[in-house]
Structure 1
Amino acid sequence: MSSAVVLSLIAVLCAWLVHRLRRAGSRERGLPPGPPTFPLIGNLHQFPTSFAHLKFTKWAQVYGDIISVKLGPQTVIVLSSPRLVHECIDLRSATTSDRPSLHIAKLLYDDNEEIAIARYGPTWKALRRAAHDILSHEACMKHLPIQHAEASQLMYDLLERPKGLYTHIYRYSASVILSVVAGIHCPRFEGSIIEDFDSMIRQLEYIMRPGGSPPVDLIPLLKHIPSRWALWKTKAREVRAAQEKLFFGILDHCVDRIKRDERNDCFLEYVLDHQSRYGLDYRKMAYLGGTLLMAGSDTTAVFLRWFVACMVTHPDVQMRAQQEIDEIIGLDRSPVLNNIERLPYLRAIINEVHRFRPVTPTAMPHTTTADERVGDFLIPKGATIFMNVWAIYHHEDYFDNPELFDPERYMRSELGAKPGADTTGLRNDLGFGGGRRICPGSNLASNSISLNTMNLLWAFRFLPRKDEVTGFPIPIDLNSYTGGLVVFPTPFQCEIIPRSEAKADLIREQFTAALPTFELFEQHTSL
């Protein structure tokens, strides 16, 4: 072969490579619009590593309610209207229920053992079926005694140590799900398994966040970097070891309790008894229990923190809700769960907190297993889809003055929407996800939220804390929060005062009466 022919072939090959590289980050024909791409990397340089919901919302305001973003050759679709979420996530869940394949997740977990990020398939279906059996609406009614007992301790803790608001709320949220899943009650945060869980979850969030590890999924060569030069690999091993120690320790404890014939009807006991029905091995059972604990401990706690912050900053709302509670509940008893049906204004507050500060403003991402068309646009197989819950709940097409905290909107309309708005697909619980991936613990979380919002407003006044030097109230900034998958309010200060001595006495009495319930859930540390 002549040198001229060889050179011609090399030139053609180089031109083809340049063409492929230039197209690698380009937006393919038929995709929804989005920010301009850069050769090879697409929008990788623009993709947010924190506060993703705010960036997605800005893009939606420019390019529309369905946009595409290119991360190298990968496609990300962001949906910012309830109609599009309903059409893509709910109605087409057969092809939009997968999760993205992430290299960092493969370092943390074996195949499909973590229910929240497991790929769609037989193993995930078995995990989901087991979770649904114990967390369905009917099954959650059996968990009310421990939820009421834990709620009584939360009021007692706030009465005796009001400055510990953040840890008291987290202890409540984590101890409820720990009792339901593993039959273990934790009377305090410090020095408990709950503190270990919290530490592990914070490490997991750090490494799983965008930017927490290199873009290995886009540049596979990075996976071959030796661990001594890759801190993210070391962190992943540490988190994996911490998870295994906690998850297997909890399941082993349940097994030992069954052997001692000291059952308390918790979730893991049920799964162990029906292991053949679900087809789960010991490791997958341990991880199912552990991941339910991780999910359940954070979300309810974050909602209750936002709720308290909104009550401090909106005293008129707090006062009106307390008047409603006093009229319906009375002064000589604390609320029970079914009282929520007779408290429309309190239900409006709950819906407004969900809307105003959704705990998961982009929900968990989905991935398509087949091409789908939405109107004139293509959503290609393998695309990652985000539900932009924040944009939906702060969209002026659906809500009047969406940046204002205003429970009244839910007194005027069940969905809080303004007159004439197209509410197709709009739900008050979009933060729990959608389609076949909707959160299996939503019933338990809703019960906890309803019970504790009633209790806290029945029992306490929430006031701004005053500066010790100036005497002026210390403001709470509702726009100050962390920016991960779960949005935490920045720690704030407030005064928590019992509404009367009679209520304080009743709180102490109810906490004492709850102690026998705690004994069923293996109280390891003396109260």
Structure 2
Amino acid sequence: MPSGLIVAPLVGLLIWAVVRIYMMGSRDPNLPPGPPTIPVLGNAHLWPTKQVYLQFTEWMKAFGDIYSLKIGDQTMILNTPRLVHLLLDQRTAATADRPPIFLVQYINPYNVPLMRHGPMWKEYRRVFREILSREACVAHMPLQHAEASQLMYDLLKEPENFFTHIRRYSSSLILSVAFGLRCPRYKNSYISRFFVVQRENDTIFGPGGTPPLDIFPILKYVPERWAKWKTVAKRIKHHHRALWFDLLAVVEKRISDGKRQGCFMEDMRDRQGRDGFDRNSVAFIGSNLMEAGSDTTSIVLQWFMSMMTAYPEVRKRAQKEIDEVVGSSRSPTFDDWDSLPYVQAIIKEVHRFRPIVPQLLPHRNTEDTVIDGYVIPSGSTVFINFWGINHDPEAFDHPEVFNPDRFIRSEFGTREGADNFGRRDDLLFGSGRRSCPGMDLAVNSIKINAMNLLWGFDFDLAQDASGKPIPIDLNDTTDGVLLTQKPFKCVITPRSSKHVEVMRGNYASARDVFVQFEHELTDSEREYVAKW
């Protein structure tokens, strides 16, 4: 064969390969605009290793309401409630999927919030909607009220440990609902182990925790000696499995002893062997309640307490409102919430000012979609820039200022003339078919504790050795999926002896609720309960 007949196809193949590689990172002209790309990587080299939400917001200023990043197939960033509504809320079937995440499949394939859309996800979500429906959450209110009473009592005893008291509240509540167990103190083996797992999760799933495994799958095959993340992932997987199977064993023993308590996991254990549930899935399904409900609620309440310390004029105004409605002879109840518009405004402003999930969990688009003249291709990953939405100067006056009055002046806290199409108060709980089924339980926890804390305590800045107030740095946060404030100092004092008397009485009365969740306490925990 003449050499030219061989060389020509090879040259053509080489040219095709070079063009193909070059085009891998380029942005198609019908995609939304975005930062300049480079061959192969596209925009992968620009992905920040920390505080992703801040870079998202900078790109929002440069490229507008919707922009694209060429990462893998492609990534779309939505920066307005209008676009979220048009793409995610109105096209729920096409946006119900999550992008594939290798680490989720490796560590906990039963992670429902990040699970791919399919029959298993639908069945799990149906189960969660049953136990966490609005009607079901009414039955959990007495337990929430009792645990909130202990939180106030804990603050009376050890106000300096407020961070751990809040964590105990949220964890004990979810453990009781899910496993029929409560934690009368933070130094509980299950809570301690849970927060170890959570911190490890937040680190490895946060920006920079691993190389871009889902963009460049070949990285999964790098030997462990050169891939520290593999060692971390193995440790997390081991901790996960040990914790959830130990908790399942407690429930199984209770069932075998004929001492059912009526918790969620007892029902799930009954489903084992049917509806697609084996022992693995039953053990891990309880993790979803803990991971979704414990950390998030405690972080919101920690932010709330820091705001009430940093902005005393806001706290005092809220206390005046509560005093007029509740008085000092009793503590607040859920029935008081609707009569406290300024307290409601404070909670809305906390969510706006420091949203705990600044870039909401991503969706995966499964149909080619045209929005605002741009094509959102099938297979695209879609992020909601929740931080950018809440700090948009076009929508909010002085967005970097904590000001609950904005929600007194308008329904969504927005400035006059702002485009509120698609805007809603519960966007922080997700969109479409991926909205959080535990929303009502979380909202009720925030309500009762916010009212209680304002009613019962003053929060003031701590002072240094010279008597100078120590300011709270509201930008001092950890790096991870959740926007978590680093521990800060404040001075917490009860508002009066009358308030103290009521708090002590509430805690004593809560014993009637607690006893049904205390059958498996350790000896040291029983001594702790008896002492206090």
1:209 equivalenced with 2:178 (yes/no)? no
- The answer to whether the Cα contact below 8 Å between 1:66 and 1:77 also exists between their aligned partners in 2 is yes
- Between 1:492-501 and 1:282-291, the stretch displaced more is 282-291
Q: Which amino acid aligns with 1:187?
A: P
Q: Which amino acid aligns with 1:520?
A: Q
1:89 equivalenced with 2:85 (yes/no)? no
1:182 equivalenced with 2:179 (yes/no)? yes
CA deviation after TM superposition for structure 1 residue 275, in Å: 5.2
SS in structure 1 of the partner of residue 45 of structure 2: coil
Q: Distance in 2 between matches of 1:410 and 1:276?
A: 50
Q: Which amino acid aligns with 1:265?
A: G
CA deviation after TM superposition for structure 1 residue 258, in Å: 2.0
User: What are the superposed Cα offsets for residues 378-400 of structure 1, whole Å, 9 maximum, x if unpaired?
Assistant: 11111111111111111122222
User: Paired residue for 2:21?
Assistant: 21
1:170 equivalenced with 2:167 (yes/no)? yes
SS in structure 1 of the partner of residue 331 of structure 2: coil
- The answer to whether the Cα contact below 8 Å between 2:463 and 2:470 also exists between their aligned partners in 1 is yes
Q: Distance in 1 between matches of 2:259 and 2:515?
A: 11
Count residues in correspondence. 523
Q: Distance in 2 between matches of 1:356 and 1:252?
A: 42
CA deviation after TM superposition for structure 1 residue 211, in Å: 1.9
1:382 equivalenced with 2:366 (yes/no)? no
User: Paired residue for 1:75?
Assistant: 74
1:302 equivalenced with 2:303 (yes/no)? no
- The answer to whether the Cα contact below 8 Å between 2:359 and 2:384 also exists between their aligned partners in 1 is yes
User: Paired residue for 2:487?
Assistant: 491
1:363 equivalenced with 2:360 (yes/no)? yes
What are the ranges of 5 or more consecutive residues in structure 2 without an aligned counterpart?
none
Q: Distance in 2 between matches of 1:234 and 1:90?
A: 39
- The answer to whether the Cα contact below 8 Å between 1:186 and 1:192 also exists between their aligned partners in 2 is no
Q: What TM-score comes out, normalization by structure 1 length? A: 0.97
Q: Which of residues 418, 429, 453 in structure 1 aligns to 2:426? A: 429
CA deviation after TM superposition for structure 1 residue 276, in Å: 7.0
Q: Which amino acid aligns with 2:332?
A: P
SS in structure 2 of the partner of residue 116 of structure 1: helix
Q: Distance in 1 between matches of 2:272 and 2:83?
A: 39
CA deviation after TM superposition for structure 1 residue 482, in Å: 2.0
Equivalences for 1:402-413 in 2 at 5 Å? 402-413=399-410
Q: Which amino acid aligns with 1:441?
A: G
User: Paired residue for 1:55?
Assistant: 55
Q: Distance in 2 between matches of 1:345 and 1:265?
A: 38
Equivalences for 1:87-486 in 2 at 5 Å? 87-110=86-109, 113-274=110-271, 278-468=275-465, 470-486=466-482
Q: Which amino acid aligns with 1:343?
A: L
- The answer to whether the Cα contact below 8 Å between 2:271 and 2:277 also exists between their aligned partners in 1 is no
Q: Which amino acid aligns with 1:88?
A: L
- The answer to whether the Cα contact below 8 Å between 2:478 and 2:484 also exists between their aligned partners in 1 is yes
User: What are the superposed Cα offsets for residues 305-325 of structure 1, whole Å, 9 maximum, x if unpaired?
Assistant: 110111111111100100111
Q: Distance in 2 between matches of 1:459 and 1:424?
A: 39
Q: Distance in 1 between matches of 2:461 and 2:469?
A: 6
- The answer to whether the Cα contact below 8 Å between 2:23 and 2:39 also exists between their aligned partners in 1 is yes
Q: Distance in 1 between matches of 2:67 and 2:462?
A: 43
User: Paired residue for 2:35?
Assistant: 35
Q: Distance in 2 between matches of 1:191 and 1:137?
A: 30
CA deviation after TM superposition for structure 1 residue 90, in Å: 0.7
Q: Distance in 2 between matches of 1:193 and 1:104?
A: 24
SS in structure 1 of the partner of residue 313 of structure 2: helix
Q: Which amino acid aligns with 2:361?
A: M
SS in structure 2 of the partner of residue 496 of structure 1: strand
Q: Distance in 2 between matches of 1:420 and 1:265?
A: 51
Q: Distance in 1 between matches of 2:358 and 2:373?
A: 27
CA deviation after TM superposition for structure 1 residue 263, in Å: 2.2
Q: Which amino acid aligns with 2:37?
A: T
Q: Distance in 2 between matches of 1:10 and 1:274?
A: 60
- The answer to whether the Cα contact below 8 Å between 1:336 and 1:451 also exists between their aligned partners in 2 is yes
Identity %: 46
1:8 equivalenced with 2:39 (yes/no)? no
- The answer to whether the Cα contact below 8 Å between 1:52 and 1:483 also exists between their aligned partners in 2 is no
SS in structure 1 of the partner of residue 20 of structure 2: helix
CA deviation after TM superposition for structure 1 residue 252, in Å: 2.2
Q: Distance in 2 between matches of 1:142 and 1:492?
A: 35
- Between 1:328-337 and 1:243-252, the stretch displaced more is 243-252
What are the ranges of 5 or more consecutive residues in structure 1 without an aligned counterpart?
none
1:513 equivalenced with 2:512 (yes/no)? no
CA RMSD of aligned residues (A): 1.4
- Between 1:225-234 and 1:76-85, the stretch displaced more is 225-234
CA deviation after TM superposition for structure 1 residue 203, in Å: 0.7
Q: Distance in 2 between matches of 1:485 and 1:151?
A: 27
SS in structure 2 of the partner of residue 520 of structure 1: helix
- The answer to whether the Cα contact below 8 Å between 2:352 and 2:390 also exists between their aligned partners in 1 is yes
CA deviation after TM superposition for structure 1 residue 97, in Å: 1.2
